[in-house]
């Protein structure tokens, strides 16, 4: 009965999305209020409630391991811990799509409830566009990927969840990314609504900006968490592999970063109108492209856990419909939207536009490198594209972007002179040059890591300079957000460059009681024992790790074997210090009785993820600051209107 309730709620939600779409477009076409117009906001709210009920029903089915439901049987097992049973609800094709449409419907409901800044006609067009996007995903679920499908006969036991997904880090990683993707779908709906009514105004940007900021924060957290999960769970010791699925999350983040800055310029200075609309379309396009790559099985990846070429075709059709339609609308209406206020090249707007172009170029490079193997395979030529392409080609545009990023926040809006900030530029340049000379002489670092270290210092200092001479307690929260986010980029960059420049690796085969070294660490294998968990067994190594002859720390990496489904995984052991991380992986036993160990010493590698969290925290501060500023602006407008009404009444 639970499954039937969930399916019925999903059908009703789809019907309301159709009503929201039809009523919205009819209202926009009529040009004024119609009888149907009054149904748009209620339809969006009730749709959000119904699809939430549907998703809760799916969570319940997984929590109780209802083995009469096909999806539960394929992705769960009665012996799994409860948290991974629940995570199994979105660790598959159907459940993840239901999660997507649930978050999208809740976002639409929130817009319908709280958004009052936009003209009503633009709001109707926005909710109608949101209805179109939602309806496509409802159709996908109901006609191609029903999550509530029953089996003719209940199964005796489930097939289990991919062991790599049975980790707390990845249990919460997909929902975080989906929140980001859905936030960009809202920005897309705003862009389409503004195009339909030709009302691309600062109010439009202020209404869209919190959604872009929220999406950007969740994407940042999701990418950071996914990177750390791959680092410690896959046992390969790396944090980014330029894997197609990794790229699928990076591309929307790049587009969202450009959109975020462009929307801020439009909201504050009434400029970059067409560019903002275009980025709104591109950002959601990258979300759809990423979804297609992850779910279609068209590209091979260690991260692609729920692939299906047949249903991937459905997503491709949706992608073509949404993006093709939006681009057609853009081509027809963009010429009727004025560009807005002009600004000088030497200005903060100029710096933002330059970096937006650089971000767009990096996005194009990542997209090309991700799709190129697919194109060549069509001609029966198999190639792989990895760091030898992405790192140097991406650096061509990343380096100038970081240079401008260090200086841009120091410039004034509209028009400025570089000689006004020559002292700050001199400080940044001197530090960059000093870092290059120091690391070249002392550590003989290669070119790209060397540039990374130097630019990390430059961006770090440049991000703090806007606070110089100001009373910190009076700095707006949104400005703090910018400072923290830019500083987080610098911290992450220093971590990446340090890991690349200074890492040490050791592959060793040792007997119990023997020691080996990696960097300043000495590791002694004290023993190897079998251990068991709720749904796995493992070989666990007990090691004593000593840094520079100090007191040893006991670590215990494991090689686990799951039985449902059968699969071996590695559980690395990490020791974190202020200056880096020791990374140990337990290998197999060699024929001569020795145990294989993989050890890395990675100086300052935690800065990568600390920087990512700082970037996300900066986004949260900016979001809070913008929301408070908007509320304050609304209150001022309300008071002015009230005072004007009183004066007219007295007159």
pLDDT digits (tens, 9 = 90+) for 91-144: 888 898 899 899 999 999 999 998 887 888 888 899 999 999 999 999 989 988
Q: What is the pLDDT of residue 197?
A: 87
Note whether residue 337 is domain-resident: no
Q: What is the pLDDT of residue 299?
A: 59
Considering only CA atoms, which of 598, 538, 581, 539 is closest in space to residue 166? 538
pLDDT tens, residue by residue, 280-322: 999 999 988 887 777 666 655 545 444 566 677 787 888 888 8
Q: How far is residue 178's CA from residue 214's CA, in Å, rounded to a whole number?
A: 12
Note whether residue 444 is domain-resident: no
Looking at the predicted structure, is the pLDDT value of residue 434 above 70? yes
Put residue 39 in one of left, alpha, beta given phi > 0 → left and psi -120 to 50 → alpha: alpha
Q: How far is residue 471's CA from residue 482's CA, in Å, rounded to a whole number?
A: 16
Residue 562: pLDDT band with limits 50, 70, 90: confident
Note whether residue 632 is domain-resident: no
Domain stop point among 166, 201, 228: 166
Looking at the predicted structure, is the pLDDT value of residue 335 above 80? no
Looking at the predicted structure, is the pLDDT value of residue 178 above 90? no
**DSSP notation for 138-183:** HHHHHHT--TTPBPSS--SS-----GGG-SHHHHHHHHHHHHHHHH
Q: What is the pLDDT of residue 378?
A: 73
pLDDT tens, residue by residue, 72-83: 998 888 888 888
Measured in residues, the chain has a length of 651
Q: Do residues 186 and 107 make contact, with C-beta atoms less than 8 angstroms apart? A: yes
Looking at the predicted structure, is the pLDDT value of residue 529 above 60? yes
Burial bucket for residue 280 (CB in 10 Å: 0-12, 13-18, 19+): buried
Looking at the predicted structure, is the pLDDT value of residue 253 above 70? yes
Q: Do residues 622 and 213 make contact, with C-beta atoms less than 8 angstroms apart? A: yes
User: Structural domain tally of the chain?
Assistant: 2
Considering only CA atoms, which of 237, 210, 385 is closest in space to residue 300? 385
For residues 502-531, average pLDDT = 94
Q: What is the pLDDT of residue 379?
A: 78
Domain stop point among 106, 140, 166: 166
Tokens found for residue 384: 């792989």
Q: What rounded mean pLDDT belongs to the chain?
A: 88
Looking at the predicted structure, is the pLDDT value of residue 213 above 90? yes
Per the model's pLDDT, the better-predicted residue between 204 and 384 turns out to be 204
CATH number of the domain bearing residue 145: 1.20.120
Percentage above 70 pLDDT, the chain = 96
Q: What is the pLDDT of residue 535?
A: 78
Note whether residue 440 is domain-resident: no
Note whether residue 585 is domain-resident: yes
Note whether residue 490 is domain-resident: no
Q: What is the pLDDT of residue 314?
A: 80
Domain stop point among 114, 142, 166: 166
pLDDT tens, residue by residue, 338-350: 767 788 888 988 9
Hey, which residues does 153 pair with through a beta bridge?
A: none
pLDDT tens, residue by residue, 616-625: 999 999 999 9
Range of the domain at 573: 504-605
Half-sphere exposure of 101 (CA within 13 A, CB side): 31
Listed range (32-41, 317-326, 605-614) with the worst mean pLDDT: 32-41
Looking at the predicted structure, is the pLDDT value of residue 568 above 90? no
Note whether residue 76 is domain-resident: yes
Q: How far is residue 318's CA from residue 145's CA, in Å, rounded to a whole number?
A: 14
Note whether residue 470 is domain-resident: no
Residue 419: pLDDT band with limits 50, 70, 90: confident
Looking at the predicted structure, is the pLDDT value of residue 428 above 80? yes
pLDDT tens, residue by residue, 457-473: 999 999 999 898 888 88
């Amino acid at each position: 009965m639970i499954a039937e309730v969930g399916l019925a709620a999903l059908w009703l939600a789809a019907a309301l999305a159709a009503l929201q779409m039809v009523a919205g477009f009819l209202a926009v076409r009529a040009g004024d209020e119609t009888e149907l117009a009054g149904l748009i906001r209620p339809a969006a709210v009730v749709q959000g409630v119904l699809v939430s009920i549907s998703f809760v029903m799916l969570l319940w089915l997984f929590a109780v391991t209802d083995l009469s439901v096909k999806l539960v049987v394929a992705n769960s097992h009665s012996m799994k811990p409860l948290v991974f049973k629940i995570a199994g609800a979105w660790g598959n094709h159907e459940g993840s799509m239901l999660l997507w449409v649930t978050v999208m419907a809740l976002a639409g409901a929130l817009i319908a409830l709280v958004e009052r800044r936009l003209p009503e006609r633009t709001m109707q067009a926005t909710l109608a566009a949101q209805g179109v996007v939602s309806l496509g995903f409802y159709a996908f679920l109901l006609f191609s990927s029903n999550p509530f499908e029953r089996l003719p006969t209940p199964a005796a036991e489930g097939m289990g969840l991919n062991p790599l997904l049975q980790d707390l880090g990845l249990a919460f990683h997909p929902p975080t990314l989906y929140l980001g993707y859905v936030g960009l779908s809202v920005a897309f709906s705003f862009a389409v609504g503004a195009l339909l009514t030709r009302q691309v105004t600062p109010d439009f940007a202020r209404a869209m900006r919190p959604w872009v900021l929220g999406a950007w924060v969740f994407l940042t957290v999701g990418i950071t968490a996914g990177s750390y999960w791959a680092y410690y769970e896959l046992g390969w010791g790396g944090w980014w592999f330029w894997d197609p699925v990794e790229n699928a999350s990076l591309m929307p983040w790049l587009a969202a970063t450009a959109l975020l800055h462009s929307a801020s310029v439009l909201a504050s200075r009434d400029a970059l109108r067409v560019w903002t609309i275009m980025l709104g379309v591109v950002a959601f396009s990258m979300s759809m492209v990423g979804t297609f790559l992850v779910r279609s099985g068209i590209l091979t990846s260690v991260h692609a856990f729920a692939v299906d070429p047949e249903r991937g075709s459905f997503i491709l059709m949706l992608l073509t419909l949404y993006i093709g339609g939006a681009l057609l609308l853009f081509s027809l209406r963009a010429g009727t939207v004025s560009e807005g206020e002009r600004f000088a090249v030497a200005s903060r707007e100029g710096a933002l536009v330059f970096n937006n172009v650089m971000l767009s170029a990096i996005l194009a490079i990542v997209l090309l490198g991700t799709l190129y193997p697919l194109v060549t395979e069509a001609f029966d030529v198999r190639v792989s594209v990895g760091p030898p392409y992405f790192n140097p080609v991406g650096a061509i545009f990343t380096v100038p972007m970081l240079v401008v990023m260090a200086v841009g926040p120091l410039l004034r809006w509209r028009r400025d002179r570089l000689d006004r900030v020559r002292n700050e530029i001199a400080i940044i340049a001197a530090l960059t040059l000093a870092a290059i000379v120091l690391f070249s002489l002392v550590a003989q670092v290669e070119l790209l890591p060397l540039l990374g270290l130097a630019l990390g210092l430059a961006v770090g200092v440049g991000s703090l300079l806007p606070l110089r001479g100001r009373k910190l307690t009076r700095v707006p929260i949104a400005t703090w957000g910018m400072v923290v986010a830019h500083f987080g980029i610098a911290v992450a960059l220093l971590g990446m460059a340090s890991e690349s420049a200074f890492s040490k690796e050791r592959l060793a085969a040792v007997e119990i009681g023997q020691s080996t070294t990696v960097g300043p660490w000495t590791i002694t294998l004290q023993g190897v024992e079998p251990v068991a968990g709720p749904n796995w067994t493992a070989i666990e190594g007990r090691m004593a790790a000593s840094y520079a002859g100090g007191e040893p720390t006991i670590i215990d990496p494991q090689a686990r074997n799951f039985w449902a489904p059968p699969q071996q995984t590695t559980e690395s052991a990490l020791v974190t210090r202020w200056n880096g991380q020791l990374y140990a992986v337990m290998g197999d036993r060699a024929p001569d009785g020795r145990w294989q160990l993989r050890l890395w010493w990675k100086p300052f590698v935690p800065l990568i993820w600390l920087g990512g969290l700082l970037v996300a925290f900066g986004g949260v501060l900016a979001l809070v600051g913008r929301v408070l500023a908007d509320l304050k602006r609304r209150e001022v407008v309300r008071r002015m209107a009230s005072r004007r009404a009183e004066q007219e009444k007295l007159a």
